[in-house]
Amino acid sequence: MESVLVSACLRGVPCRYDGRDKPSAALDASLEGRVVVPFCPESAGGLPTPRRPAELVGGDGHAVLDGTAKVVDDAGEDVTAEFVAGAHLALDRARSAGCAEAVLMPRSPSCGRGRVYDGTFGGGLVPGDGVTAALLERHGITVTSAPGV
């Protein structure tokens, strides 16, 4: 049976920065018949829950992986290392579980695909990928955004 990596917060794990989850009935329906592998890169990378919200500054997740952008929380603390570590652990998990696809949380600085928050903590969006989404894509895993959230 086909396995798919899914942002853990979409599957009932209260791992978001605010200590909550973000379920999606549309996502659950779309995953029927597949083996779901829940994973939270920010938790895996060593960040606590709850935690301060963080956003990408100076570029998207690809730029973070290239060393030209960073991830900063709303108190100004640089959490780039934790985000990059979590991304690599997500890749390890996807590979070990045989996932060719990942369905991730939209807009997140880790999990976002195609659009992410713009780094101002004002709710604005810019084109780009989160750090984990970028790393998975670079290693041939198809990343899509979850529906219904």
Q: Which residues bind ligand SF4 (CB under 6 A)?
A: 7-9, 15-16, 40-42, 105, 108, 110-111
Quick one: which H or E segment has residue 5? strand 3-7
| Distance of alpha carbon 106 from the chain centroid | 8
Nearer to ligand SF4, 79 or 105 (CB): 105
From 82, 52, 84, 47, select the one nearest 65 (Cα to Cα). 84
What phi and psi, each to the nearest 5 degrees, are found at residue 8?
Answer: -60, -30
Nearer to ligand SF4, 40 or 63 (CB): 40
The distance of closest approach from Cβ of residue 9 to ligand SF4 in the complex, given in angstroms and rounded to an integer, is 3
Nearer to ligand SF4, 7 or 24 (CB): 7
Helix (H, G, I), strand (E, B) or coil at 31: coil
Nearer to ligand SF4, 16 or 70 (CB): 16
Q: How far apart, in Å, are the Cα atoms of 14 and each of 40, 66, 98?
A: 10, 30, 25
The distance of closest approach from Cβ of residue 145 to ligand SF4 in the complex, given in angstroms and rounded to an integer, is 11
The distance of closest approach from Cβ of residue 134 to ligand SF4 in the complex, given in angstroms and rounded to an integer, is 13
